[in-house]
Amino acid sequence: GIQVEQSPPDLILQEGANSTLRCNFSDSVNNLQWFHQNPWGQLINLFYIPSGTKQNGRLSATTVATERYSLLYISSSQTTDSGVYFCAVAIMDSNYQLIWGAGTKLIIKP
């Protein structure tokens, strides 16, 4: 089945720093999403981005489907950005089943 790999697994930054999180996937997908899980466990959908670039405030994401990767950029990090960031994809013949990466754990220190 399709493999989803996220890097780095852990990232510790000072408040105000910028970061780039990467998601690689092993097969063609027609659906890619980024999620944030806060330290209390709540999961929030950040981006639906099967291709191209999107921006939402300090966060932006780019997916290059032909090269099978996606990047999540966080600028001017704040302590509230801490948590785990997940990438999830759906394969071409099953748009219902999101396959999730293991996540990148981000800690922003004040």
Q: Is residue 83 a contact residue for another protein (CB under 8 A)? A: no
Q: What angle do CA 5, 40, 59 make, to 5 degrees?
A: 55
Number of residues located near another protein, criterion CB under 8 A: 22
Are 63 and 51 contacting, i.e. CB atoms less than 8 angstroms apart?
yes
CA-based nearest residue to 43, from 99, 96, 86, 82: 86
What are 26's two structure tokens?
């092993």
Q: Tell me the window of 11-19, 56-64, 72-80, 82-90 that interacts with another protein (CB under 8 A).
A: 82-90
Q: Tell me the window of 14-22, 34-42, 59-67, 68-76 that interacts with another protein (CB under 8 A).
A: 34-42
Q: Give residues in contact with another protein (CB under 8 A).
A: 4, 31, 33, 35, 41-45, 48, 86, 88, 90, 95-103
